[in-house]
Amino acid sequence: MNVASSSVPIAATIATTDSGGGAGIQADLKTFAACSVYGVSVAVALTAQNTVHVRSIHPLPLEFVHDQFEALDQDLRPAAAKTGMLLSAGHIEQVCSELSRRRWGPLVVDPVMVAKSGDRLLEESAVETMRRLLLPLAQVVTPNWPEAAVLSRLPVRTEAEALQAGRAIASLGIPFVVVKGGHSEGPPVDLVVHRDEVTRLTGARVETRHTHGTGCTFSAAITAFIARGFEPLLAISRAKEYVTAAIAATPGLGAGHGPLQHFPKGWPEGSG
């Protein structure tokens, strides 16, 4: 079947829903809209959660995951895609199988493992599957410090250790690894490891507890800019600007780690 062409880039999120709307597929689709691309999705699981905790997680059947890929491939093929929370080894294997035989453009992997509330979002048995199958498919991987430590099998307590972990992850064949600095005690410096180079992206820390969905939002923004044709390093830099603006404009909702403002002043670009 022919896929209709369009002047509007399409970006896909392959992830899990968030009933609170601050993270997961809901945050990704808002981010896609704010960054001027059309968003589509493949859900691998559903969550019942709010800003305080994850109440329950409902995995979706692998056959249904396949059907979503087929439906998009036939009519709304993405120019770029991202993965978020994938929950289990079986779901990661299914997603990798689907992506490997489709031409969906560059892949951004947000290696989601634990929610802001502390609830685990990736089964421990699935970490090695992620390292072995999913990461090598990615053009960009965006771990925070704890995720970088798990993926690299190295301690990450300082910026120097974060850089070492990023290089170890990049050695798996990933062109761009962004080790996010939000967990550091100082300014949130993101380290972009690409080829034999390292680019430091600095930013001001916004003092707020409302940071639910920052990782999803950042990786979705990178995906959107790549879908629009930006080179990866510029896409990463623009995504950091966007997520910083989204954190600064947080609406202050919820009793826990509240959501960002996915449409801060000036986004979509040129508005406001």
pLDDT for 45 equals 97
Residue 151 lies in a domain: no
Band (118; pLDDT cuts 50, 70, 90): low
Domain containing 121 equals 10-142+207-248
**Gap between the Cα atoms of 22 and 83, Å rounded:** 16
Q: Is 87 exposed, middle or buried (0-12, 13-18, 19+ CB in 10 A)?
A: buried
pLDDT for 185 equals 75
* Nearest C-alpha neighbor of 248 from the set 231, 267, 261, 233: 261
Tell the residue number behind the tokens 């491939």, with chain if given.
Answer: 73
**Gap between the Cα atoms of 243 and 31, Å rounded:** 9
Look up 39 and say whether it is catalytic: no
pLDDT for 272 equals 60
In this structure, what are the phi and psi dihedrals at residue 45, rounded to the nearest 5 degrees? -160, 165
At a CB cut-off of 8 Å and minimum separation 6, what does 196 contact?
none
pLDDT for 184 equals 78
**Gap between the Cα atoms of 113 and 123, Å rounded:** 8
Tokens read off for 87: 């929950």
Tell me the per-residue pLDDT of 230-267, one tens digit each, with 9 for 90 and over: 999 999 999 999 999 999 999 999 999 999 999 999 88
- Output the DSSP codes for 160-178: HHHHHHHHHHHTTT-SEEE
CATH number of 82's domain: 3.40.1190.20
Q: Which member of 20, 213, 244, 250 is catalytic?
A: 213
Q: Is 109 exposed, middle or buried (0-12, 13-18, 19+ CB in 10 A)?
A: buried
Q: What's the first-to-final CA gap in the chain, in angstroms? A: 41
Tell me the per-residue pLDDT of 245-254, one tens digit each, with 9 for 90 and over: 999 999 999 9
What are residue 16's DSSP bridge partners? 45
Residue 79 lies in a domain: yes
Residue 2 lies in a domain: no
pLDDT for 1 equals 40
pLDDT for 115 equals 65
Q: Which member of 30, 116, 180, 240 is catalytic?
A: 180
Q: Mean of the per-residue pLDDT values for the chain?
A: 92
Tokens read off for 121: 């979002």
Tell me the per-residue pLDDT of 15-50, one tens digit each, with 9 for 90 and over: 999 999 999 999 999 999 999 999 999 999 999 999
Band (269; pLDDT cuts 50, 70, 90): confident
Q: Which member of 17, 82, 216, 250 is catalytic?
A: 216
Q: Which member of 31, 83, 211, 250 is catalytic?
A: 211
What are residue 81's DSSP bridge partners? 12, 107
pLDDT for 4 equals 47
Look up 16 and say whether it is catalytic: no
Count other C-beta atoms under 10 Å from residue 71's C-beta: 12
Tell me the helix, strand and coil percentages in the chain, rounded to 5.
40, 20, 45
Look up 211 and say whether it is catalytic: yes
Tell me the per-residue pLDDT of 49-71, one tens digit each, with 9 for 90 and over: 999 999 999 999 999 999 999 99
Residue 232 lies in a domain: yes
pLDDT for 239 equals 96
Residue 160 lies in a domain: no
Cβ(234)–Cβ(31) under 8 Å? no
List the single range of 31-40, 59-68, 132-141, 205-214 with lowest mean pLDDT.
205-214
Residue 45 lies in a domain: yes
Q: Which member of 21, 181, 215, 258 is catalytic?
A: 215
Q: What percent of the chain is predicted at pLDDT more than 90?
A: 83
Tokens read off for 132: 């072995």
Number of domains composing the chain: 1
Hey, is 199 helix, strand or coil? strand
Q: Is the pLDDT of residue 2 over 80?
A: no
Q: Is the pLDDT of residue 116 over 80?
A: no
Tell me the per-residue pLDDT of 144-165, one tens digit each, with 9 for 90 and over: 999 999 999 999 999 999 999 9
Look up 35 and say whether it is catalytic: no
